[in-house]
Each structure stands twice: as structure tokens, then as C-alpha cells.
Amino acid sequence: MSVSLDSSQKSPLLAVENLVVEYPSKRFRAKPFRALTDINITIGQGETLGLVGESGSGKTTLGRAVLGLAPVTAGKVIFEGNDISNASRKERRTLSRDLQVVFQDPYTSLNPALEIGDILAEPLGVQGMEPTAAKKRVQELLDQVGLPSDAIHRLPREFSGGQRQRVAIARALALSPKLIVCDEPVSALDLSTQARVLDLFLQIQKDTGVSYLFVSHDLDVVRHISHRVAVMYHGEIVEQGPAEIVTRDPEHPYTQRLLLASPVPDPDRQEQRRADRHRLLANQRNQIEQAGAVA
Amino acid sequence: MIKFIAKRLGSGLVVLFVVSALTFTLLYTSSGSIARNILGDQATPEQVALKEQELGLDQPLVTRYFAWLGDAVSGNLGASWFTSEPVANSLATRIPVTMTMVFTAMILIAICAALIGVAAAVKRGWVDRVVQIGAIVGDSIPGYVIGVFLVTILAIQLGLFPATSTISPEVGPEAWVYSMTLPVIALLINGVTGGAQQIRSAVIKQLERDYVRTLRSRGIGEREILFKHVLRSAAPAGLTVLSLQLIGMLGGVVIIEQIFALPGMGPLAVTATGQSDLPVVMGVVMYTVVVVIVVNLLVDILNGWLNPKVRVS
Amino acid sequence: MSDSIDTAAVAAPVPTGQSGTVVRSTVMRRLLRNPLGIASLVILGSIALLAIFAPVLAPFEENFANITKTLAPADSVNILGTDSAGRDTWSRLLFGAQLTLLSALLCAGVAIAIGLPAGLIAGYYAGKFEAVSNWVVSILMSLPGLIVLLTIRAAFGPSVWISMIAFGVLISPSYFRLTRTAVQSVRNELYVDAARVSGLSDLSIIARHIFSVVRAPIIIQTAAIAGVAIAIQSGLEFLGLGDPTKATWGVMLSEGFKNVYMTPTLLLWPALAMALTIGGLVLLGNAIRDALEDGEKIKHRKKKTVPAESTTADPAKAGQSRKSVAAVEVGTEHHLIKVTNLGVGYPQADGSVKKVVDDVSFHVDRGEILGIVGESGSGKSQTAFSILGLLPDNARIVGGSIQFDGNYTVAPGDDRVSQERLSKLRGKRISYIPQEPMSNLDPAFTIGYQLVTPMVRVLGISKAEARKRALKLLTDVGIVNPERTFEAYPHEVSGGMAQRVLIAGAISCEPDLVIADEPTTALDVTVQADVLDLLRELQQRLNIGVILVTHNFGVVADLCDRVAVMQNGRLVEEGTVRDILRNPKEQYTQTLLGSMLEGKTPMTMLVSRPGSAAQKEPVA
């Protein structure tokens, strides 16, 4: 968690400072719903920050706030030294060259009515690229994510979930961004497909030096792909640090529970883990009771 | 629940106010010289001016509207410019005729459409196909065309029913029912075909829900699943369909009454429209809006009772 | 959520990586392949042509009256006869078509011009504009069209155009609501978010991603509304409130009705013209809707035509078929459930059968937990539903048998699960835990009611007794305040609690076999661990057999005694949990286990060779 001094000489690619996100309540004059409280994260060049938490913990909202898809109530989102928390659509257009996204559901993140080629050319066209140059770039992208070049003229529904997620990754890569926000990009995929897509993410990072903000509910996935990990719980970050430490020897009680709740694929080791978990839960309960007794 | 009803009632009154103001403005600003219209082309300008004064047309529009509103609240809707009969009286004698027909037709539609629609959804097969074809045929032929042909074939050619009916309820229930049969049939055919089709879709949608499978897995019988769970969930959609049909029918019945020469709201509305007899037109519009508001309120209450989520919030 | 229990998706799977190019304008082509679509286009096209060329085709002016020849029957001059003023029926019909079609177009045009932009704005931006428009819409929709048109007529006098503009305004809510709903459904789609991230302007997003969604429904709606406009405009004219100088179908109908005693045929022609035009529009709308809904949907088969080709079933066993309920094979009676060479398929429109489960055999004994593992589309859920007898109506058993406690529920040769036999078992001896906790409870009934009713029906106990047991069950599944949960509606509890309620329901009638279909997939990991604990504890205490369908090897390791691995409808490998997880023999199982992240070195390739992660995704 401690920021070493030498890293301060180079400012991080992305810094989120004291971020608060609130959604206005649907009901008249009711209190707004607070989705995120006092979030602080940084991501360096070529680094992956894994963001893990349960549903409703605010991890997706944080990704969306960075992308300008969630309202920033307070705090700052700083990208390459500029505060982008309230960037206009025009500024977003410039920003989209460097900041991109891959969403969770490969079935709804591609417009079913558009051909793959048109989907991939969309971000290029926004930046004013010539159609012929765009077409060439699309071919390169398809190659980069391992899709056949005849995919250009096909519709999303002709592809499986894993292939669609490759299209979504290609779209994110189109403008050679510096940071990609990945919102649960593998959680809708089958196990073997998930492994191949994770491999692709790692390969792309190795080749292009892109940074990831990698959102997932799965501690195993986050451990595998991240340099550092932040754990979210009820709209706050309860713990962050190097992936190896946070995902193997966590400090915060919630992360400890999360770690031991995830079952391992071996009956005997799982029995052990189950026992560890029960012991942990009992300890935490005792601590709370004692704290209550003291208070 | 009481708060819920009060809120709905309040919004209904607002709608009533808005619609009456809009209609009043529309009618009294667009009809050209009303007095000349009534007196005919031979009238002198003096006579016209006198008539305008008599009708209060020299007052500003807002003043006239609130005068009308004040009277309307106390039950006085003014008098016809041509017959001088108070509008409220005309409505009072005619509303029962129209409402009897409309509600008889609505009840029959609700029963038939529900039975046929549910049967089509559950049994599929030929029942389903008949419902689909029926819906297309029903949508293709307007109710008044059906009415015209019912009269032509069943009444005029075959003489099974009276072609026209000026019979009032006093002549005895049998003759009354006899003369009402054809108009009600003409009114309900489109409703049944359309309603059955929509209820069918609503029921199928519910039958495909996950919880239905889980209920089956718990050993609950098909009949109980259908009548207790599926129909209850499909009912709000069905109620909406029926309420929209009722609104449409309030218009359709005007033509049907004209065809069968029934002494309901239809002839009154048509005559008043042709003559630009504005107080009567206002009265007809107000009656319609009140009926619609009451029906919508009933639908809302029923829906609230059927759906616990609405009830809670 | 790798395996959704959405059976429709299994029945009609997404075509993967087919060759060939995208067929553009598929909708138009399907429309032309549909006889009703062609018929409607021909009818409407002919009427439109007749209307356009009316001045050329009509032998007489619309109001030309030959007073010496009134109510004449058809002859060579007046091919459809004349009316009471001696006007030519055929000519008036043609001019009437012109006016009718134009007024319908005007009405639809006005309605679209108002409803579409308003719907787009309200749907996309929501907020105040939506609130105000919703209010206006609710008022417009509560006004009967004809009454409004009467009012307009009283105010403005007889004019087809004014009344159609007014009706267009009045009916614009139908476009508004259609557009708003469609826009709302895509506004939050991820591909719209992706476009926003790319910096597309709102206008481009609406034009590119949103307008394409509403285009087709708008066309369908227009067909319907044009029909309604024709009906109501003609109705107004029928009442004698139209423009008396114009020949229209409504006026002609009224003319015919006045002379119904003398020449009833005068009625027939305008009525036929109206029915044909409106009917053509209705058919066109239906045909377009059918063309849009995927043409590859499986047709509903009638009960009698069951072609289910006998497939992999052992011929010896197939021989025993048809004998109502055959006895099970000797020596297998003791198995709680035994599935033998099971095949499940869906008949396709072209007569073939698409198999989703093929030659699957396994058994489960009392007190034993069998895990069925596989990826989406492996047929694991379909296998589970065939045991429960809860397959979709169009599914067929295409081979094999299922026996429960020594009796067939699917005898060899049966092509459907016997509901008669299973309805005695379901809920009582075999029960089910679904995947999605929320959608599997009826939102209209309290949780208590949904627990009590099955016990009353299945066990025949009193309501009070069932209530007592339900409260006990809720305590058993770890719910702290059972009374409150008992009284609650499903939307008032959390997903984890709802899943506990469903588990309580599954064990309420003390079943022998529980089939759990991905029971923890929809839950958070910490909740999943609690629910797994609960399942294990209940299973041991009640000594029941469990079939656990899952895609998660961790869950398998946690609960199961034995495992069956499925792929593409076939059973790949079966064995004890330790054998399969530690020494998988089949390559598929090895690949699956190799894809697990647990124990792998972070930041290394899982299945690809370094530098080749961009290898082609194999076609599933």
C-alpha cells in the first residue's frame, strides 16, 4: 500500500483521488444513493490493477466513472495529468484514443445489427480515419486477436461468446490505447474460453505495453492477471497492494473471507479450506462480539 | 391503498379539468360565428349581435369557461342551442341506453376473450390457429361494417331480429334483450378477437417464466399453476387490453347506435356535431372522459390488488 | 454463468462460424417467401395502383350523376351499377380509394412526425421531458378517437384532412410508446456505452445504434395505424359528418345502407374495399413481424406427428418398447436413479432432429452426490430436466431410458417423459433447486404461501401443520427470522436468502433425490460457500441422493462423491471425484482442469504457447 518515493518522480497513467459517486434517487426528495465512497487508486504504464468485490460493491461503477459513464459527485479522475472527471463529449472523443473499454457481456456489447467490420471501424471513424486506412487497421486487429479475416462481413450472432469477446477486445485495441478498462471481461465465458481470453489479454499487454483496470468478482482471475489488486466492499476500497500479497495473505477480514470462500478443485484440499473458513468465520465473530462487549 | 386510490382520483380530476379546458377553447375559438350559424344567413347583424349577447358569447373566453365550469360542477351543463333542452337532461335519458350496451359487451368480451385466449395459450394446436386467424379477420373489418351486415342479413333478409329499435327498457325485458342482441354482437366481435389474441400472448409469456417450472417441480398440478399463478400474473396485461378496448368502444358505440337507431348517446352526439351545438358537444365529451377516468381507476385498483409490488410502494 | 438454463437457447443455438456471406435484406426475402406476405403486398399494391390511376381508369367523374339511371344493376356502362343519385359505383370506388389511402398516409405521417422524435428524446434522455410526455400520452390515450373527431368536426367543419391530422396527433402515443420502450431497452446496452466511450455524439449514437432498432417496429405499427385510420375516417363519413362533395368509401357505405331494402349490393362494394385494404395492412404487419422473428424457429408440432427417429437406442431394448410400463433390468432396481443411453432432441422445421443429449448413462444411489460438469451447451441441464420431466413441450426423448427407484419414468422406446408417472414423483420424491433464485419464485405470492402449498398438496397435511413445518425449514436453511421471511414477498428478500428459500422448498416434502441445477452460480462467492455448507449438511442429515449440475470444479470438489463430465451432449468421462480431478483420462477433462486458475503461476499463459495467444478460437 505504501507508495515508494521513486515512483513519485513519474506521475501515474491514471490516478483516482477521493472519488465519490452518487446516483440521484428516483423518488422525489429522497437521499441520493451513494455507490462509491472516497476511492483512491493509481495505475502505472503497462500495469494491471485488479479490482475485486461482490455484486453491488461498486467495482463496476468505478470502472464506469473512469470512462465517464457514471456521474462523479466529488473527487478527481486524473488521466496523464489531466482531470477528466467532468470531460465533455468532445474531450472524451480525444481521450478515447488512449482510454478504452471491454465489457462483461459479449452478447450485448456488440450491436447485433452491425457487421464486425463496421463495429471495429466505429472508433476509427470517430477519429476521422479514412475508410481504406480503417479497413486495413481492422484487418490488423482481427489478426491480433486471432479472428479470421473473413469475420469483417459477418454479424455478431454468428460468433460464439469467446469469439465475440475477442471482437470487443479488438474494438478496444483499435486506437492503440494506453489504458483499457475491463469490466468482468471473462465472467460470462466458459472455463476453457476464459483461459484463452486471459492469455490474449496477457499477450496484448506484453506486445503493446497497455495498462488494464481489470474488474472481476473472481479472486483467481484477478490474481492471475494483475500486478496489484484492490478489494472493494460496500462502495469502498478496503484493501489494496501487490497481487501476490492481497490474494494470498490478505489483511482485511472481508478479503480473508473472500479468499477462503472460493472453492479449490481438489476434495481434500477443499475440505481443508472449508475447515479454515469455518475457523476464520468463528474468529471474526468472536472479535466482533468482543469489540461489542468492550464498547 | 386508500392513499393510492386518492392519488389516482386526484390525477383523474386534473385530467378532467385539462380536457374540459382544452375542448372548451377548441370549440369556442374555431367555430366561426356561432350566432350566425344558429340564426342562418338571413339574420341581420343586429339579430346576430343580440343572439351573441343572449348566449354570453360577447364575454371573454376565460370568463365563459369558468362560468361553464362553475355551472358544470353543480350539475348544470347548459342547454342545447337548437332544442333548448338542458344538456344534463339529454344525457340522463341517453346514458343508460349506451352504458347498458357498452358494459354488456365489455363483460361478454372479458369472459369470451379470456376463455378463448387462455385455451389457445394452453392447448395450442387448432384453437391457437383459429384465434390467430380470428384476430386478423377481426382487425380487418371495422365493428360498424359488421353491424351493417348483421342488420342486412339477420334482420332485413332473414327477419330474425328487429332492424331498428326505439324500444326503451319499459317495454319489458324480453323485447329489450331482443333488440339489444345485434348491436351488442356488433360491438363485441372486434373486442373478442383482438382481446383473445392479446390475452393469449400474455398467458404464454407467463407460462414460460422460470417459476412455473419450479412450481411443477414442487408437485403442484397444472390446473392450479394455471388458475392461481399464471392467470394472476397475466391479469394486469389483460386488464390493460380491456380498458383500452372500452375506450375505443365509447367511440364505436356512436356509430352502432346510429345504425340500429338506438336512442343512446350516438344520435345525440352526431346531431350536435353536425349542427355545432357546442353545449351538447361539451356534455358528450365530459361524459366520455368521466367514464374513462372511472374505468381506469377501477383497473388501477384491481392491478394494485393483484400485484403486491404496487401495493407496497 | 457459463450454462444458462434457458432451454430456448439450447433448442435453437446460435450458429457459430458458418461459412457464407451475410444475407442482407433477409427480412425482405423472408417476407416474399411467406405466402401471406406476398398476398398482402399484391393486394395493397393493386389498390394503390388503382388509386393512383383513378382519373384515368374511372369511366365517370366522381360526382357525375345520371338521374335517369338510379340504383341500376351492373351493366356494360356501369360495371358495378349506380347509386340512388345515378352515380357510377366503380368510379366512386376508385376515387374513394385515392382519398382513403391519402388520408391514411397523412394520419400515419403526422403520428410518426410527433411520436418518433418525442419517443427518441424521452427514451434517450429520460428526465423531465419523459415525465411530461408520459402525462400527455396518458391523457391522449384515454380519449376515444371518434369522440375527439366529433369534437374536431364540430369546431372546424367537415374536412378529411383536418380530421386525419387530429387523429394523427391523437394516435401518436402509439409511436411514442413503441419508440421510447425500444430506446430504453438499448440505451443501457453495452454497445451504446462502448460508442459513448469512443466519443460518438448523441446524434450519431441515435442514428447508428438506436434508430435501427425502432425502424422495423415502426413499419409494423404504421400498417396497423393506417388500418385504424381508414376505419375511423370511413366511420365519420358513414355518420354523414364527412365532406359531402367527396366520394369516399364511408359515404358509399352509408348510401348503400340507406338503400339496403332496394339494392343491398351497394353495401357490398365499399365494405369489400375497406376489408381488403385494412386486411392487407394487417396481414402485411403480421408478415413483417414473422419475417423479423427468426425464421429458423422450430415449428410447433401437433401431438400426433411425432417423427422421433429411433437413434442410438439398443435395438434389443427398443424391442421391449410400447409395452406400457416394462419392468427394469434385473439387478438395477436398487439404484435410486439410473439413466441408460439417454438421448434428447428437438425436431426441426426440416424434419430432422437436433440432438442435445446423446447416449448418456449414469446412476445415483441413496446418500450419494453426483456432479454433472460441463460447459454451456454440453446438455447437462437438459439431462437434468429429462429426469424431472420438465423438458420444453417440443423436446423429444430420442433414445434410452430413465428409471427411478426400480421403475421406469422413461421406458425404452418412449419418446416423451411420462407426465403421469412423474407427476406422482415430482415434489414428493424428486425435487429441484433452480439456478436463478429470484425468477423462480412467483412475485405475486408470499414466500410462506409458496412453501406451504406444495406440502399441503403433496403430503396432504393441514395448512397449520404445513406452516409449522415451513417455519422449521426456514430455520434449518439458516434464516434468522423465519416468521418475517415467511410473510415476505420474494422482492423483499436478497438473492442469497431467496436461494435458501428455494432449497427449503426442495427438501420440504422429504424427497429421495434432489436435482440442483447450478444452485450457486448466481450467488456471490461468500454466499455460495454458505449455501454449499447448507447443501452438504442437509444431504448428510437426510441421506438423500443429489445430482448437482455445475460448471465449477471447485463446487464439485466441495460436494460431490462422483463426477460425470459432459461435452456437446455426450458423457465424456465418469468416476469418483478424486479420480477425475486428479487423474483425468480424457483429454477434454484435462483441458477443462488445465483451464482452472487455482495453483497457476500468475501472469503466465494458461493454454496457449507463449506468443501464440492470438490463436484462433476453436468453433464450439
Residue C373 has pLDDT above 80, yes or no: yes
| Least confident interval from A23-32, C124-133, C541-550 | A23-32
When pLDDT is averaged across residues C43-62 and rounded to a whole number, the result is 91
- CA torsion B102-B103-B105-B106 (nearest 10°) is 110
Which residue from A54, A263, A274 is facing C524, i.e. has the nearest CB?
A54
Task: State residue C615's pLDDT score.
Answer: 54
The mean pLDDT value of chain A amounts to 90
The alpha-carbon gap from C612 to the nearest alpha carbon of chain A, in Å, equals: 8
Which residue from A89, A162, A221 is facing C199, i.e. has the nearest CB?
A89
How far, CA to CA in Å, does C406 sit from each of B28, B121, C7? 85, 36, 29
For residue C434, give the chain B residue with the closest CA.
B214
Residue C367 has pLDDT above 60, yes or no: yes
The alpha-carbon gap from A80 to the nearest alpha carbon of chain C, in Å, equals: 17
- C-beta atoms of C151 and B272 within 8 A: no
**What pLDDT, in 10s, does the model give residues C56-87?**
888 888 888 888 888 888 888 888 888 888 88
Residues C265 and C146 grouped into a single domain: yes
* CA separation for the pair C579, C225 (Å, rounded): 66
Name all chains with 3 or more CB-CB pairs below 8 Å to chain C.
Answer: A, B
Using the 3D structure, point to which of C244, C277, C292 is the last residue of a domain. C292
In a domain, C142, yes or no: yes
The alpha-carbon gap from A64 to the nearest alpha carbon of chain C, in Å, equals: 9
In a mutagenesis test of the B interface, which of C136, C149, C220, C239 is the best target, namely the one with the most B β-carbons within 10 Å? C239
Chain A to chain C Cβ contacts (< 8 Å): 225
Task: State residue C300's pLDDT score.
Answer: 37
Any CB–CB contact under 8 A between B296 and chain C?
Answer: yes
Residue A152 has pLDDT above 70, yes or no: yes
Residues C417 and C401 grouped into a single domain: yes
Residues C273 and C144 grouped into a single domain: yes
A22 - beta bridge partners?
Answer: A34
The domain in which residue C358 lies consists of: 299-429+511-599
Which residue from C224, C440, C491 is facing B210, i.e. has the nearest CB?
C440
- C-beta atoms of B145 and C275 within 8 A: yes
What nine digits make up the cell of A66? 473512469
* CA separation for the pair C247, C61 (Å, rounded): 10
When pLDDT is averaged across residues C591-616 and rounded to a whole number, the result is 78
**Chain B contact set for C509 (CB, 8 A):** 218-219
**Chain C contact set for B23 (CB, 8 A):** 151
In a mutagenesis test of the A interface, which of C186, C598, C615 is the best target, namely the one with the most A β-carbons within 10 Å? C598
The alpha-carbon gap from C615 to the nearest alpha carbon of chain A, in Å, equals: 5
Higher pLDDT, A9 or B181: B181
In a domain, C506, yes or no: no
Any CB–CB contact under 8 A between B247 and chain C?
Answer: yes
Task: State residue C303's pLDDT score.
Answer: 33
Residues C317 and C356 grouped into a single domain: yes
When pLDDT is averaged across residues C495-505 and rounded to a whole number, the result is 93
User: Can you list the positions of beta strands (E) in A24-133?
Assistant: 33-43, 48-52, 74-79, 82-83, 99-102
| Least confident interval from A159-168, A286-295, C199-208 | A286-295
Residues C30 and C168 grouped into a single domain: yes
Residues C208 and C352 grouped into a single domain: no
Beta-carbon contacts of residue C434 (< 8 Å; ≥ 6 apart): B210, B213, B214, C5, C440, C502, C517, C519
The mean pLDDT value of chain C amounts to 85
pLDDT band (50, 70, 90) for residue A27: low
The alpha-carbon gap from C473 to the nearest alpha carbon of chain B, in Å, equals: 15
When pLDDT is averaged across residues A228-239 and rounded to a whole number, the result is 95
Residue C545's H or E segment, with its range, is strand C545-550
The alpha-carbon gap from C15 to the nearest alpha carbon of chain A, in Å, equals: 5
Task: State residue C51's pLDDT score.
Answer: 93
In a mutagenesis test of the A interface, which of C603, C609, C615, C619 is the best target, namely the one with the most A β-carbons within 10 Å? C603
Residues C285 and C334 grouped into a single domain: no
8 Å CB contact between C307 and C351:
yes
Residue B216 has pLDDT above 90, yes or no: yes
Any CB–CB contact under 8 A between B265 and chain C?
Answer: no
**What pLDDT, in 10s, does the model give residues B233-254?**
899 889 988 999 999 999 999 9
The alpha-carbon gap from C229 to the nearest alpha carbon of chain A, in Å, equals: 32
Q: Which residue has the cell 447437462?
A: C380
When pLDDT is averaged across residues A204-229 and rounded to a whole number, the result is 95
Task: State residue C35's pLDDT score.
Answer: 87
In a domain, C10, yes or no: no
Any CB–CB contact under 8 A between B10 and chain C?
Answer: no
Using the 3D structure, point to which of C292, C315, C335 is the last residue of a domain. C292
Residue B1 has pLDDT above 90, yes or no: no
> Helix (H, G, I), strand (E, B), or coil: what is residue A246?
helix
In a domain, C246, yes or no: yes
Percent of chain B residues past pLDDT 70, beyond the cut:
94
- C-beta atoms of B273 and C491 within 8 A: no
Residue C17 has pLDDT above 60, yes or no: no
Which residue from C199, C556, C599 is facing A96, i.e. has the nearest CB?
C199
pLDDT band (50, 70, 90) for residue B170: low
Residues C278 and C305 grouped into a single domain: no
Residues C109 and C46 grouped into a single domain: yes
Which residue from A104, A108, A277 is facing C191, i.e. has the nearest CB?
A108
Residues C288 and C343 grouped into a single domain: no
For residue B246, give the chain C residue with the closest CA.
C144
Higher pLDDT, C376 or C297: C376
Residues C268 and C327 grouped into a single domain: no
* CA separation for the pair A66, C445 (Å, rounded): 42
**Chain C contact set for B270 (CB, 8 A):** 150, 239-241
In a mutagenesis test of the C interface, which of B11, B98, B151, B273 is the best target, namely the one with the most C β-carbons within 10 Å? B273
String of DSSP letters for B120-135: HHHH-HHHHHHHHHHH
8 Å CB contact between C192 and C210:
yes
- C-beta atoms of A199 and C213 within 8 A: no
Regarding pTM above 0.90, the answer is no
Chain B to chain C Cβ contacts (< 8 Å): 203
Judged by CB atoms within 8 Å, which residues 45-74 of A form the interface with C? 54-55, 64, 67-69
The total number of structural domains in chain C stands at 2
- Determine how β-strand A33-43 pairs with β-strand A14-23: antiparallel
In a domain, C471, yes or no: no
> Helix (H, G, I), strand (E, B), or coil: what is residue C340?
strand
Which residue from B15, B210, B255 is facing C142, i.e. has the nearest CB?
B15
**Chain C contact set for A257 (CB, 8 A):** 526
Residue A5 has pLDDT above 50, yes or no: no
3-state helix, strand, coil in chain B (%, to 5): 80, 0, 15
Check which CATH number belongs to the domain holding C344 and give it: 3.40.50.300
- C-beta atoms of A265 and C212 within 8 A: no
The alpha-carbon gap from C601 to the nearest alpha carbon of chain B, in Å, equals: 41
Which residue from C1, C554, C608 is facing A188, i.e. has the nearest CB?
C1
Task: State residue C366's pLDDT score.
Answer: 93
- C-beta atoms of B252 and C431 within 8 A: no
8 Å CB contact between A52 and A237:
no
Which residue from C17, C529, C600 is facing A159, i.e. has the nearest CB?
C17
Check which CATH number belongs to the domain holding C125 and give it: 1.10.3720.10
What nine digits make up the cell of C584? 483425468
The identity of residue C474, as a single letter, is L
For residue B140, give the chain C residue with the closest CA.
C279
In a domain, C571, yes or no: yes
| Least confident interval from A189-198, B230-239, C76-85, C111-120 | C76-85
**Chain C contact set for B289 (CB, 8 A):** 142-143
When pLDDT is averaged across residues A125-152 and rounded to a whole number, the result is 91
Residues C229 and C373 grouped into a single domain: no
In a domain, C526, yes or no: yes
Task: State residue C46's pLDDT score.
Answer: 95
Percent of chain C residues past pLDDT 90, beyond the cut:
53
C408 - beta bridge partners?
Answer: C403
In a domain, C449, yes or no: no
**What pLDDT, in 10s, does the model give residues B258-293?**
988 888 999 999 999 988 888 999 999 999 999 999
**What pLDDT, in 10s, does the model give residues B26-68?**
888 876 667 777 777 777 888 888 877 777 777 888 888 999 9
Task: State residue B171's pLDDT score.
Answer: 66
> Helix (H, G, I), strand (E, B), or coil: what is residue C417?
coil
**What pLDDT, in 10s, does the model give residues C305-360?**
333 333 433 444 444 444 456 778 877 888 999 999 999 999 987 888 999 999 99
* CA separation for the pair A181, C196 (Å, rounded): 14
| Least confident interval from B137-151, C77-91, C369-383 | C77-91
When pLDDT is averaged across residues B68-90 and rounded to a whole number, the result is 90
| Least confident interval from A58-72, C96-110, C161-175, C185-199 | C185-199
Task: State residue C8's pLDDT score.
Answer: 33
When pLDDT is averaged across residues C223-245 and rounded to a whole number, the result is 91
> Helix (H, G, I), strand (E, B), or coil: what is residue C293?
coil
The alpha-carbon gap from B98 to the nearest alpha carbon of chain C, in Å, equals: 14
* CA separation for the pair B108, C489 (Å, rounded): 34
The alpha-carbon gap from A193 to the nearest alpha carbon of chain C, in Å, equals: 8
Task: State residue C612's pLDDT score.
Answer: 62
